[in-house]
Amino acid sequence: MAESVELPSRLGILPFRNKVLLPGAIIRIRCTSSSRGVAARALHLSRGVEKPSGRVTYIVVLEGLCRFSVQELSAKGTYYTAKVSRLDMTKPELELAEQDPELITLSRQFKATAMELISVLEQKQKTVGRTKVLLETVPVHRLADIFVASFEISFEEQLSMLDSVDLKVRLSKANELVERHLQSIRVAEKITQKVEGQLSKSQKEFLLRQQMRAIKEELGDNDDDEDDVATLERKMQSAGMPPNVWKHAHRELRRLRKMQPQQPGYSSSRVYLELLADLPWQKASQERELNLRAAKDRLDSVHYGLTKVKQRIIEYLAVRKLKPDAQGPVLCFVGPPGVGKTSLASSIAAALGRKFIRISLGGVKDEADIRGHRRTYIGSMPGRLIEGLKRAGVNNPVMLLDEIDKTGSDVRGDPASALLEVLDPEQNKTFNDQVKPIPPPLLDRMEVIELPGYTPEEKLKIAMQHLIPKVLDQHGLSSDYLQIPEDMVEFVIQRYTREAGVRNLERKLAALARAAAVKVAEQQHTIPLSKEEPPITTSLLDTRLAEGTEIEMEVMPMSVNDHEISNAIRSTSVLIVDEPMLEKVLGPPIFDDRETLERIVAPGITVGLVWTSFGGEVQFVEATTMAGKGELQLTGQLGDVIKESAHLALAWVRARAADLKLSDAGEINLLENRDVHIHFPAGAVPKDGPSAGVTLVTSLVSLFSQKKVRADTAMTGEMTLRGLVLPVGGIKDKVLAAHRYGIKRVILPERNLKDLVEIPQAVLAGMEILLAKRIEDVLEQAFEGGSPWKQQSKL
Ligand SMILES: Nc1ncnc2c1ncn2[C@@H]1O[C@H](COP(=O)(O)OP(=O)(O)OP(=O)(O)O)[C@@H](O)[C@H]1O
């Protein structure tokens, strides 16, 4: 209890602006000062609701312990401390003082008034029992403080109570205040009784609301909440919601008004209303008159090549121009990473004069991510599309739903079906997609536009015309300071990247630009560094460059702006990228043409061409045998279709074993007591589809005949049980992949001949394309020195 409080000689000081804490009392403060104060113990600290302005109120519950006076105040960091001396009496002093007859009379008087107050309150509330107990157990001087603190008195009166160090003064003052309070309760009661019967419902509601407000204020709870709710209402009114939404929102607002901020459901209700008020119900980008010529020019200026795709986009825009409210198709861009899907979509938005937003759906498994959670769910959030609209701030943006193929379904529902619902009646949405496993009903609503990968020549043009100017600009450079010659770009394409798109190429060029910016800026020493930043020294940079790693770190101090950089660089001679610089910045080349040679080390290994989410790819297939029960083991993240192809291939080869020129080892391998193990390396990439058929047969024939296949040859094609080779998809991408790996011979199904027209001459010129109708044709071409068959096939 307070009497036993040991007061330290120094205390942290909390200045109060409009409230006084009396010893024994417990108050909640909203924070804010006199040379007198009360030592307090913090009982509880809680964090209030965050305001839309970002302001957070903290509520501290304090228990007053004893009066003190400030001897010396000093500021320590952001708060004050003070040297204090105790004002309230110590226990022995009190015991002595209590002998005073005058004090005894005063005490009795006070207790009687307090008792009277309690009995009046008792008729109204049931919670006064505890106060009664206080009256019997707590020393009277302390009671005076506690009682006065329990009702509303002016700040000045509170201050004078605080100043009443003398017990007699304190008791008579408290007596007076309690008496006054008692009177006011009685008067109020009389008035209430008179008025009550005459109040209408709405008046009552108003009165109650006013009282609630006063109570909240008293509790330190008002927190501008009332004002906040009023602000929210104003915001809602100006959001321009359609009438049905407004009706619903208004009902919710009424509910919110009746709630306490601490009440469950308050914050979810509030977040919900904030969202409703924030949505761009009426705000739309002003769509400008669509100029097809300008749109085409823009597409051409931002994108190299892609003629067919651009043509399709212009057609789409033309239809929109003629019939703006037509149920437009949802465009679905399919292609490997970095082929320009996102930038095409943003060009469509620019052509339409609308805002562009990209929403990634990758990894969405929960239907609620699309549809939004139930509002009552704790931590509920709006769906990604609504969130996107809010972010866009307009109700007619062009939306790019990225990675739609990467949504999955589980117990939490099926996002694809939610998407279907969202997209079906809608229009003007652009879709982005990378591979095809999009559920058919969803795919049905979209117009698929394929973007194949680029040839090295196309990449070179894209780099020279688009990527280099863009990257230089992003780094505050220009061709006056950094030049990357064509042959160096070609070198980067061939030796540092092996991708269908140009994403990594762009990254490598950016790494060169970063290194150049640092070097150039460093030569000048004119960039003022901020105080905290140690100056960039030559040795640091050189070691980073010498490490051969890509410089990921942004070395420019944040305080340096583009203007300063260009000033700094202006007088520097132009930096021309050469091979040593490439090696310094990007490290030693990562890729070369020898990979297939190095990997075709034993019979049983074949080079296949496949289609993955990264576009066309070269896929090695490795077959081997080991002791077992004649079973087929398959590894490398394979889908059902590819597994079936493997069983089919093994069945086919075993059926024709008699025709094979087998080595001794091959004879053994064919035995029924050995397992055949086929592995597809790059185990992290899921693989499926029928086009590995011919590759699998070739691997098995190579294994059983113990003849190595040609390392310069890659193949693709589905096969039938009868040995026919069927055509497969993605031929252009697959041939481009072979080209990237420096593979010179490609075996394709004969019926894919028509697809070759899509492949640029520059790529075909350096390649030998072999067409196969039957699996024997493939085998004939795949091995050094001809077919592994005993008799030449009769083709
Ligand atoms: N034909 C092109 N002409 C000019 N720049 C291009 C072309 N294709 C791609 N780019 C550039 O390559 C970069 C990557 O393109 P973008 O981000 O649009 O690819 P994406 O296909 O959307 O990739 P992801 O599927 O990984 O999102 C961008 O800077 C883009 O401007």
Taking only the tens place, the pLDDT of each residue in 527-547 is 333 334 444 333 334 443 433
CB-ligand 1 contact for 506 (6 Å cutoff): yes
pLDDT score of 556 more than 80? no
Give the span between the Cα atoms of 784 and 707, in whole angstroms.
Answer: 8
pLDDT over threshold 90, residue 393: no
What is the 8-class DSSP label of residue 614? T
- Residue of the nearest CA to atom 4 in ligand 1? 303
Q: What's the rounded mean pLDDT across residues 351-356?
A: 86
User: What is the total residue count of the chain?
Assistant: 795
For a ligand 1 pocket test, name from 301, 306, 311, 342 the mutation site with the most ligand atoms within 8 angstroms of its C-beta.
342
Percent of the chain with pLDDT over 70: 74
CB distance 320 to ligand 1 below 6 Å: no
CB of 739 shorter than 6 A to ligand 1 = no
Ligand 1 atom 16 nearest Cα:
340
Max Cα separation, the chain? 133
Atom 3 in ligand 1: residue holding the nearest Cα: 303
Q: How far is the CA of 337 from the centre of ligand 1 (A)?
A: 8
**Known binder of ligand: residue 242?**
no
pLDDT, mean of residues 381-404:
82
* Ligand 1 center from residue 502 Cα (angstroms): 7
Give catalytic status of residue 773 as yes or no: no
- Lowest mean pLDDT across 227-231, 706-710, 722-726, 767-771: 227-231
CA-nearest residue, atom 23 of ligand 1: 338
What is the average pLDDT across 145-150? 83
Question: Is 337 labelled as part of a ligand binding site?
Answer: yes
Pairing of strands 429-433, 330-334: parallel
Is a pLDDT exceeding 50 seen at residue 3? no
CB of 339 closer than 6 angstroms to any ligand 1 atom = yes
Q: Which of 257-271, 316-330, 533-547 has the lowest mean pLDDT?
A: 533-547
Testing ligand 1's pocket by substitution, the residue of 347, 466, 473, 508 carrying the most ligand atoms inside 8 A of its CB is 466
The closest of 246, 253, 247, 255 to 273, measured between CA atoms, is 253
Burial of 377 (0-12, 13-18, 19+ CB in 10 A): exposed
pLDDT exceeds cutoff 50 at 767:
yes
pLDDT of residue 647: 93
Is the CB of residue 141 less than 8 Å from the CB of residue 167? yes
Q: Which amino acid is at 387?
A: E
**Mean of pLDDT values over 593-618:** 83
Return the pLDDT at 199: 61
CB 709 within 8 A of CB 665: no
With a 6 A CB cut-off, is 303 part of the ligand 1 pocket?
Answer: yes
User: pTM to 2 decimals?
Assistant: 0.59
Q: Ligand 1 centre from 338 Cα, in Å?
A: 4
Q: Which residue has the tokens 């307070």?
A: 2
DSSP character for 766?
T
Phi and psi at residue 19, to the nearest 5°: -145, 145
Mean pLDDT computed over 108-127: 80
Instruction: Report pLDDT for 655.
Output: 84
Phi, psi of 630 (to 5 degrees): 80, 20
Distance 455 CA to ligand 1 centre (A): 14
Sequence-separated (6 or more) residues with CB below 8 Å from residue 409:
365, 415, 416
Residues above pLDDT 90, as percent of the chain: 15
What is the CA angle 340-496-737, rounded to 5? 60
With a 6 Å cutoff on the Cβ, whether 613 touches ligand 1 is: no
Averaged pLDDT, 271-293: 82
pLDDT at 684 over 80: no
Index of the ligand 1 atom closest to the CA of residue 303: 3
Q: Is the CB of 300 under 6 A from ligand 1?
A: no
| 335 is an annotated ligand-binding site residue | yes
Q: Nearest 10 degrees: CA dihedral of 604, 607, 612, 614?
A: 130
Q: What is the pLDDT of residue 424?
A: 56
pLDDT over threshold 70, residue 567: no
Cα 302 to averaged position of ligand 1 atoms, centre (Å): 10
- β 356-360/446-450 pair status: unpaired
| DSSP β-bridge partners for residue 642 | none
Quote the mean pLDDT of the chain.
78
Ligand 1, residues 503, 505, 507: which to mutate, most atoms within 8 A of Cβ?
503
Distance CA 59, CA 44 (A): 8
**Residue 226 pLDDT grade (very low, low, confident, very high; cuts 50, 70, 90):** low
| Ligand 1 touching residue 304 (CB < 6 A) | yes
| Ligand 1 mean position, distance from CA 306 (Å) | 11
339 is in an annotated binding site: yes
For residues 587-607, average pLDDT: 84
Any ligand 1 atom below 6 A from CB of 338? yes
Reading the block at residue 312, the tokens are 């399709």
| Catalytic site residue from 164, 285, 346, 691 | 691
Q: Is 341 annotated as a binding residue?
A: yes
Going by pLDDT thresholds of 50, 70 and 90, the confidence category of residue 562 is very low
Tokens of 126: 């049931």
Q: Which residues pair with 719 in a beta bridge?
A: 725
- Cβ of 741 less than 6 Å from ligand 1: no
pLDDT of residue 275: 85
Q: What is the mean predicted confidence (pLDDT) over 431-444?
A: 54
Which residue's CA lies nearest to atom 11 of ligand 1? Answer: 340
Strand (E) or helix (H) holding 622:
strand 615-627
338 is in an annotated binding site: yes
The sign of the dihedral angle between the CA atoms of 551, 552, 556, 561 is positive
Lowest-pLDDT range of 253-267, 332-346, 619-633, 715-729: 253-267
Proportion of the chain in helix, strand, coil states, percent, rounded to 5: 50, 15, 35
- Does the pLDDT of residue 431 top 60, yes or no? no
Question: What pLDDT is stored for residue 471 in this prediction?
Answer: 93
497 φ, ψ to 5°?
A: -135, 155
Q: Which residue has a Cα nearest atom 8 of ligand 1?
A: 340
**Position 408 pLDDT exceeds 80:** no
Nearest CA to ligand 1 atom 24: 337
Q: Which residue has the higher pLDDT, 688 or 25?
A: 688
**434 Cβ below 6 A of ligand 1:** yes
Q: What is the mean pLDDT of residues 100-111?
A: 88
Atom of ligand 1 nearest to the CA of 305: 1
372 assigned to a ligand binding site: no
Evaluate: CB of 504 within 6 angstroms of ligand 1.
no
pLDDT surpasses 80 at 124: no
**Closest CA to ligand 1's atom 14:** 338
Predicted confidence band of residue 77 (pLDDT cuts 50, 70, 90): low
Q: Quote the CA–CA distance of 407 and 401 in Å, as a whole number.
A: 11
Ligand 1 atom having least distance to the Cα of 302: 4
pLDDT at 489: 94
Residue 734 a catalytic site member: yes
Q: pLDDT, tens digit, for every residue of 154-207?
A: 877 888 888 888 888 888 899 999 898 888 888 887 777 766 666 666 667 667
- Interhelix angle for 201-218 vs 225-238, to 10°? 130
From the CB of 466, is ligand 1 less than 6 Å away?
Answer: yes
Mean pLDDT, rounded, for 690-700? 92
Q: Is 600 in the pocket of ligand 1 (CB under 6 A)?
A: no
Pairing label, strands 725-726, 632-635: unpaired
Q: Which atom of ligand 1 is nearest to the CA of 467?
A: 5
